[in-house]
Structure 1
Amino acid sequence: MLSLRDVTAIPEYGLAPQGPDPAIAADREVHRALILSGSQWMGPDISQALIVSDAGELQAVDRLLGALAVGRAAALVLADFPGGDAVTWIRDAATRHRFPLLTSTRPLSAWRSGLARRVADLAADRARRHAATLGDLIAQLDTADPVGGVTRALAQALRAEVVLRGPEGIVTATPPTAPLTLASVMQRPDRPLQTTPTGLFAGTVPVGADHVLIVATDEPLGRADRNLTGHAATTLAFALAPHHREADTASVTTAVRGIRLSAFQLLMTGNATHAQRVLAGIAPGLLDVETTRVFIVDCARADREAVMADVERRLDRNALAVRCPAFHQHIIIVAPQHPEHDSEGELRSLRQTFGSSGVTVGGSPVHPLAGIGQAYGEAADALARAAHHPERTVISATRTPTLVDVLPAVPAHTWAEAFLRPILATSRSGSQILESTALAVEFRTSAAARVIGVHRNTVARRVNQVCAAVGLDPDRTLDRIILSLAIQIVSSLPQPPAPPAPHSPEADVSLHDVLTHQQVRIWADQMLRPLADDRRDLVRTLRTWVLAEFNADAAAAHLGIATKTVRSHIRAAEPLLRRDLITGLPQDRDEEDDDQRLSGLRPLTIALYATTAPGAPYPALTHRPRGGS
């Protein structure tokens, strides 16, 4: 993959780091370059992009850098830089946001006419070569000299000197003179990073129990190349033990799993093209489609490995199945749409095999390949409903109507646009920022981070920045409900053809106005109706629990009953509402026991808000009105 370090090393771009510490950002991936100037904006997607501008044209620099950081841009590049202290104020802002700032001696016109396009071409070429090399490493296992083949492929890919050293001495080396060049490194193979007397940057990676792989390059390896070296070490461990194939198959299997999971996480973060390239080495053509669906299998009491084996047997090479990195009983399946293969039918029949173990299946409708994130959310919602479905399977052929669909479209969109304006107005990447935040607020931070393959601190920072911009507390469940609702409205409801004029009565719409609209009240009555006949007055318990901001102890104290009774009432309401509130979620995580997905709490909270009696307190959402009248 192309990194900032790679780009700054290319003389053609005339780039120089300005701040903060260049070492912090050297490994950042670069996928393309986008122009930010005058009438030409940078576009809706800025992830892994160099944002190139002229210092004289920048406005609201602090806000811009904040938006670039939230949108995961690679760096801000100031074109035609004259030198000196002309951009001290921009450098200071970049340091505050810990966001990379580069200067370029080339003018903006040169970036617009060809340099920006060449960045994208170079990134695509690097991604293709990286994916091809991953496949090459595994392919060497079927050659006459797998150990030599792997080291030669790695040396060629990294332009490196490579030595594999074992307990009896050197096993293989590329080029043949590498042992002489790396003699000083081989004396201290326990040191992971070293510099040779000739100035090469060398790294050592253990291979099995008694071998070490040494790789030396002219420049320090970036993250992608370190990842490639790790996969090479795993492949070599397998190649070195042909007589213990059964035991060592796990090593190569782990490498393949890592590649498949990386491809899925690239899809989840909107990088469909890179996912195709990464997967090309082990499953050529699998993702070369326009549309796909996502299914999630909850293995419940069944062994996940047994279910996974059955999923792989049924779907063969027609789908991308991965073990969920966040929920340890889940299997996620990306099923490209092929007319000759029925993934849905195969997964429905999976229930016949594991039905006694409580296995459930949830599936999304068809989405474009670039819309995997939304498809995953819909599959997760379907899975939550499946736990209360007689067949324990909910697979939606078309998009299931949601709470957003019953909201009054024009008032709801007007409120959501106004509420999210601090994000939407910072740059045209606002919609992309909100999309990437949606999954993060739906789950707790660590779960979302593991699903999309981003460090939890990065996810937390992104959510905190968005919440700060709109005045919410990211740790407060009711605030997360409001943020997720607003994001769903702007992404799902069509924008009114004629937005209300500023300062007009129609433009001054509050959340209270939206949630107390007549059609919302009708929907809320229908949703809560299944609870009406229960003699335990479940609605009263649920309302008190929501008013206590989902604190069962506080609700129990208010009602004068035991906390255990409150929890039993909530669990009794779940099958009646066909929604998970506190149960049905994986508990094998380092999260609070009461960690809930918002997909169940959001409609319940809105339904209770809409049906609040005159004079009674409303659930404490953002505007916190005192009560109805």
Structure 2
Amino acid sequence: MPTLGSLSTDHPEARLVFLIPGGNKPYHDVPVTGLVVLPLARLLEGRPLQPVPAGSIVVLTGTPGRFYSRDLAAVDRLLRHMSAHDAAALVITISHDSRLALPHAVRDLADELAIVLMASTAPAYPWRGVHETIQQGRVAAAERTASQMTALVRQLPAQLADHQAMQRIVDWLATSLRAQVMVSEPERVHAASPASAAEYLAPLVIRQTFTGTAPTSPARHSQLVPLGAVRGRDPVLAVARDTPFASHEMQMLRHAAKLLGLVDQAQREYGRVADATQAARAAVAELLFQSKVATARRIIDGLTPGLLDPETARVFVLESEPADNDRVRRRCERLTASKALVVPDPSTDYRTLIIHPVQPDGDTSDALSEELIGLVRELGPSVCLGGSGVYSMGLLADALQEAIGALALARHLPDSVALSAQETKLIDLLPQPEAYAWACCLLRPLMRAEADWEQLRDTLPVALAYSHSEAARRLGLHRNTVTRHLGKASELLHMDLAALTTRTALALALEVVTRRQQPVPDRVCATPPSLLSLLAAPEVAAWAASLLRPAEQDRRPLILTAEAWLTHDAHTELTARTLGVSQATVRSRLRALEHLTGRDLTSPCGMRDLLYALHLVNGTPVVAPGTRVSCAA
């Protein structure tokens, strides 16, 4: 907006000068909104004066060099009229060869009424053009201010949780004003732009806040604008640059300070609400792990109605670096929305717990599992995910232990994900090239006899898993044919296939070879790894511990029963006799094991997983090495 000082600069032909004793600097920045031309003769007629727009200049033309009493009375009336309408200044025009003799009474009255007195020695100057210029300047300033205000409002956050909103506003101010900008309070700096601004502005804020003195460098112009009344705090917007601030820039700073204050208050309120909500959710999770389901449901219904209505749930554990924990947790919360309960693990600072209620006869959280797996892939190798099976709401403490066990397994897996050891296949954990070399070495005698190999490759897996009669029925062969095939394999391999551990090792080798997950090597090494070395891989050991953990926590002697059962080649009668219990008790315990491990113990794969897991965790039963003395081609 034009000012009294800018008029003198923009219109030098008007020869405007201030008639203010002691200098005119304080009046240079007085804004001007328009200009009204009034001949002295019309003023002397005594007619009622027309209203003067606030902030306008009145140009009094046709004035003599010396004012007489009648003239002075008319000027007195004009000054009071101008003051009543908040006019800015009175310009008295005189000829260039005249001297203005203005009485002290007029000067004193103008000073009392806050009317600036100016003179012009250009009586024929086209003042109407000056008025049009002022109006054009006002329109341009209004458009510029509106544009700046629009741009400022656009910096406001779409969400209260946007912690970058204040920094964006500060960056925008620094660019728009070509200045250093900082928002701070006595304890800390909230935002600064450029980053080095805090080094200059922080001492300035401290100096002006606590001492009230101006900045020490006269080359810098600074402003401190409070963000608003905040109890117990004094946040301010500090701005500094090498040139003075125009009036419209000061207006923009005041608006920016108000918006920054609102952003600050909104984010603090959101933070308090979010903290209270997070504390309530953490309390709900703790109640669930203590089996206090009814109390947990009453609390969560006030936050997320119906979340805990299902009777079953899964638990996931997400592990990340402590520095990334908040970011990872926020991503999980956005991902799960109202489908799950996401809380920090109270026992560590690097894990996030996710409780996902599911219907027992419906979707067992496969969709959420896939979303969490995708999140782990996106976040990178520093993040691991473990999951549990579906548990009753009253047994979520057990689900948590299973998820933590799966997490230990996930640390050793390439994709850093293990959604329950019960869902993880042993063969997927074995180091594939080494496992293939071991299997080829073990099966080399069968693979040499090509005619026998084609036949045995298809019949042996079933023949090893079932009785001769059942295998014959499943294969559509005669019982004697199955017996002959087993005898042929035993003869070629020099193995006793009546032993469970031997049959298990042979079945695993057949599965590894027939899966063809790895290309068949041109030459199998002469000294491949042993089965025991394959099982000693860290990921297999973690899988075994996780698989058996639910059974180990059961009060019944399930592990002891399983060891005895497998040692006696899965004969229930011998197992019952050894343990001194009934066969019904043995079968009941085996059914419990099936439920806790997620394995079908009537299948060869289920028995194999239980056998190897027990061997890795407890050392019994003893596992057949599954390696021939010589594997040379």
**Bigger Rg, which one:** 2
TM, length-normalised to structure 2: 0.33
User: Looking at both structures, which has the greater relative contact order when contacts are Cα pairs under 8 Å and sequence separation is at least 6?
Assistant: 1
